Amino acid sequence: MCGRYYVDDETAKEIAKLVSQAEQKSRRESVRGVGMFSAKDFYPSDMAPVLAEREGSLCCQWQRWGFPGFKEKQVIFNARSESVTEKPLFRDSVRHRRVVVPAASFYEWNARKEKSTFYREGHPVLFMAGFYGRYGDGDRFVILTTAANASMKPVHDRMPLVLERDEVAEWVLDDEKMEAILRKVPCLLERRTEYEQLTLF
């Protein structure tokens, strides 16, 4: 679930705005780590931009997508929101090191391996909840998933935990909001497909 997502130039601009607003509130003067990437797809094990906490404010960081797995070359890139606080591998990170993963859209494949692109109409950024762990080769993040809502169910039974814009800072900075956000139902999304259904007579 959510094994690939897309970031475009418009997403980068929105990230810069969000970080700038947070830094102004905390009397900072510069936006660091934003605008250093071009439109592309991100895959597990890629370095990707995330919104994280630094000195009580939002900042943009580059982290690797996926925790090291239990087998060689395995990568754990998702975690279930319903059980994340109980899993030894995840619970400390989700309580103390939360991030938001910005994307223009993400992809999902159905049982027939047909690809769909999910996005939010009128919103240049999807904000996906996540968290990170600290490893010898640097910080690594995973994306939280939850039960699919009505817009996602025709394709898959899971989806990313998508946040509203005004929940971004709360998720990253406010420990008391964590449990409530983990239980939220994400907004409905739009879907594009890259295939045409053929009817045989």
Annotated domain spans of the chain? 5-193
Give the residue among 76, 100, 118 at the shortest CA–CA distance from 15: 100
pLDDT digits (tens, 9 = 90+) for 135-151: 999 999 999 999 999 99
As given in the structure block, the two tokens for residue 123 are 């919103």
CA–CA dist 78, 125 (Å, integer) = 19
User: Any long-range contacts for 91-95 (C-beta under 8 Å, 24+ apart)?
Assistant: 93/131, 93/132, 93/133, 94/131, 94/144, 94/178, 95/175, 95/178
If one compares 197 and 55, the residue with the highest pLDDT of the two is 55
Confidence of residue 180 (pLDDT cuts 50, 70, 90): very high
For the domain 5-193, what is the CATH superfamily, name and number? Answer: SOS response associated peptidase-like (3.90.1680.10)
Confidence of residue 72 (pLDDT cuts 50, 70, 90): confident
One-letter amino acid identity for 66? G
CA–CA dist 28, 53 (Å, integer) = 14
Measured CA to CA in angstroms, residue 161 lies from 23, 69, 75, 157 at distances of 25, 22, 19, 13
Res 12 pLDDT > 90: no
Tell me the mean pLDDT in the region 56-82: 92
CA–CA dist 174, 21 (Å, integer) = 17
